[in-house]
Structure 1
Amino acid sequence: MAPLRPMSRIEKGLIIVAFFVWSAMMVGAGYVGRMLLAPVELRIERIDHYGSNPHALLDEAWGHVRDHFVGVVPSDTVREYGAVRGALATLNDPYTTFVEPQARALERDHMRGRFGGIGVSFTRNERGEIVLSPMPDGPAAKAGVREGDILVGIDGTPLPSPADLEDVARIRGEVGAPVTIEVLRGPQRERLTFTIIRQTIEVNSVEWRTITTTVRGALATIGHVRIRNFTERTGEEAKRALSALSAADSQAYLIDLRNNGGGSLAAAVEAASEFLNDGIVAIEQRRDQPEIVHRVRKGHTKPTNGKPIAVLVNSNTASAAEIFAAAIQDHRRGLLIGEKTFGKGSVQLIFDLSDGSAVRVTAAKWLTPERRALDGAGLTPDIEVVGSEDAQLERAIRVLSEAIGNARR
């Protein structure tokens, strides 16, 4: 390698001048340098932050909202609930949903068929107000609450207008604990206050009665069983209903599932087992798992054996109610009468979360015993009757009366 040549005085001077010019440029452009460098450093920090916090982008966006939004910024809880709902919406499944704590408590009580309350049902009038209807001999009725009283406050807190289900849910609570309600009564809207001790309130999912008809000049009895929804208690309630109707010498049975939106799959299988001797009630298909076959439960007395059955359905018959109806239809055990059903052929699992809320996740599709998929399709009745509920009931009674007459020959 050639030896280095010593720099001349001119070259040394140029280097010194260049150094001072470069220094001056860096000082003068300092704020520009900071602007250029800072985003790179910030970007590096954010990338690391995303690695440890998957919600960093949400936190970053919400920080700008919190700092600059012109309106009222919701609480962190409301934000979190909204984020969960938004995430679930990306699944494009109307049945995978988030349920807030109050609504989840109501849902849980509904499925259990019992809760701590004061014994009132609610309707909404044309003004959007909550109108009370006390149960006979229930705690509210004994305290003086009357039919038509308008609920305006619970435990000193006025109800918002209009009130929703979660607002009214505060009337429920621990058995033995008091709750104070404020109501308006009559045309003068007299304001009254009642303090009522909550008691265990049981809501039956099954109602039954006998229908007397005439078949070929002789009286005949039809047992009418209305199942409003499928709860943890439906199986036992159905057993009691059928036992009572059998004791009343029912010659046929009419199962009314109109406006039954479903409920527990297990309860539907249990209730269907009262009418079927053996075989499959429903088939459940989950992702990457073997099929689950729900079979007729053994050990049922089956007072309906050998007797005609009809099932009333309409467009609001859905989910677990369709499972029940499809099993009766596929096993040729009875006729479906009424309207085409809703067509909800999926199963949701409910996962309770740490704050009392829950997420409901579509985890399976179900098939009928003949492997029909009803999601979006529904059940087609054997005898279609479009019209009033009375007309559907009358047609079902005629069909069962004919069946009773044929059995008497």
Structure 2
Amino acid sequence: MQMKWLGYRRNSNNIFSNQKMKQNKFFLPVFLFLQFLIIFGAFGLGYVFANRNPLSIGNSSAVDLPILNETYQILQQSGLYEVAPDMKLEYGMIRGMVQAYGDPYTAHIEPVQNELQSDQLAGSYGGIGAMIEQRDDGFFYLIPYPDSPASKEGIAEHDRLLTIDGVSITNFSDVSAIATAIRGEVGTRVSISVLKSPDYVDETTYRIKREEVPLPSLLAYQDDQHPEIGIITLHIIADSSAEEIEKAITELQEKGADRFVIDLRNNGGGLLDAGIELAELFLTKNQIIIAQQAKGEEEKITKTTRNGAFNDLPIILVVNENTASAAEIFAGA
């Protein structure tokens, strides 16, 4: 019994060993082939990732930005989170580039802010005529201008904004994004849902027709204690600023003002042509307003073409360290 058992055990081992040898002979080339596929595949994927969406600036190739590209590829291949869309990455890189440039007066303006600023520089926009206010509670509230499309349709002061064209207000990042969504082409309509103040219980939806809404670039008034002094605070140098300031001075003169203070503090500028037009109102003919010289070009001098309507008006200009661009040119002229 023992001999048979030992013999069976020995034979069993031999059979197992023989089968293993046969299997090894069969699997060895397969194993080597799989290894080849893995190595080749890894090389191929590395090549694909290394050449996927190469970053470049202007006419520069990706090779010119090796550290930036390496960081980008690491984020794509090994980052814990999904890489942001290309446009968002580009804006992030642009912000960093402009900041590293080190000029406080050079800035990149993204599309939403650019649209709002363009409206402000134009002096008007297509909209419903309401200011948007975000309070400490995190909600957004509407404050309609008098006689605006919003007030005519029934929007009341401090109605709480819920949706714009059916899109929840929570989908918008900030006040600028909300304002851009509400604005649009004159004559079109926008659907606004609000909770009515002061109880914020009743939800009401309005379909408001957009109209051209003026955006004044200045504030004009007489000094309380010295009504002979007219004060004009100019917030921005917009396309309509020259016309606005001419109208404001004329109206203040009719009320008794005969000398003026033009406040340009914290005015970051605006349109160069509008600044030149403003300066012409207060200068005589053939005076230099600005001399410009771009890199590699001849100097360009801009002079007044006529006597300004207020060239003999007593005025004081007030500026500070934040007066810049077209406002600074206006003040300097």
Question: Under a length normalisation based on structure 2, what TM-score does the superposition of the two structures give?
Answer: 0.71
Checking the alignment, whether the CA contact within 8 Å between 2:149 and 2:210 is kept in structure 1 is yes
Matches of 2:223 and 2:55, distance apart in 1 = 68
Question: 1:124-203, aligned counterparts within 5 Å?
Answer: 124-160=134-170, 163-190=174-201, 191-203=203-215
Q: Which amino acid in structure 1 is aligned with residue 176 of structure 2?
A: L
Secondary structure at the counterpart of residue 286 of structure 1: coil
- CA spacing shift, 1:319–1:131, aligned 2, 3 Å: farther
Structure with the largest fraction of helix: 2
Distance 1:310 1:299, change over 3 A: closer
Is contact 1:129–1:162 with CA below 8 Å preserved after alignment? Answer: no
Tell me by how many angstroms 1:143 deviates.
1.1
Secondary structure in 2 matching 1:223: strand
Deviations 1:283-303 (A, max 9, x none): 33432333333333425333x
1:281 aligns with 2:292: no
Cα distance in 1, alignment partners of residues 113 and 162 from structure 2:
20
1:179 Cα deviation from its structure 2 partner? 0.8
Cα distance 1:212–1:126, how it changes in 2: closer, same or farther (>3 A)? closer
Q: CA deviation at 1:314?
A: 4.5
User: Following TM superposition, by how much is the alpha carbon of 1:248 offset from its aligned partner in structure 2, in angstroms?
Assistant: 4.2
Judging changes above 3 Å, is the alpha-carbon distance between structure 1 residues 313 and 91 closer, same or farther for their aligned structure 2 residues?
closer
More strand by share: 1
SS of 1:137 mapped into structure 2: coil
Structure number with higher relative contact order (C-alpha < 8 Å, ≥ 6 residues apart): 1
In the TM superposition, 1:175-324 aligns within 5 A as 175-190=186-201, 191-211=203-223, 221-278=228-285, 279-302=287-310, 305=312, 307-314=313-320, 316-324=322-330
Tell me how far apart the structure 2 counterparts of residues 165 and 133 of structure 1 sit (CA, whole Å): 15
Change (3 A) 1:87 1:162: closer
AA in 2 matched with 1:237: E
**Structure 1 counterpart of 2:121, from 111, 119, 138:** 111
| Secondary structure in 2 matching 1:288 | coil
Separation in 2, partners of 1:184, 1:326: 50
1:50/1:167 Cα in 2 relative to 1: closer, same or farther (>3 Å)?
A: closer
Residues 280, 50 of structure 1: alpha-carbon distance in 2 compared, 3 angstrom cutoff: closer
Normalized against structure 1, the TM-score is what? Answer: 0.59
In the aligned structure 2, how far is the partner of 1:259 from the partner of 1:182?
A: 36
Residues 129 and 149, structure 2, Cα contact 8 Å, conserved in 1: yes
Gaps of 5+ in 2: 1-31
Count how many residue pairs are aligned between Structure 1 and Structure 2: 285
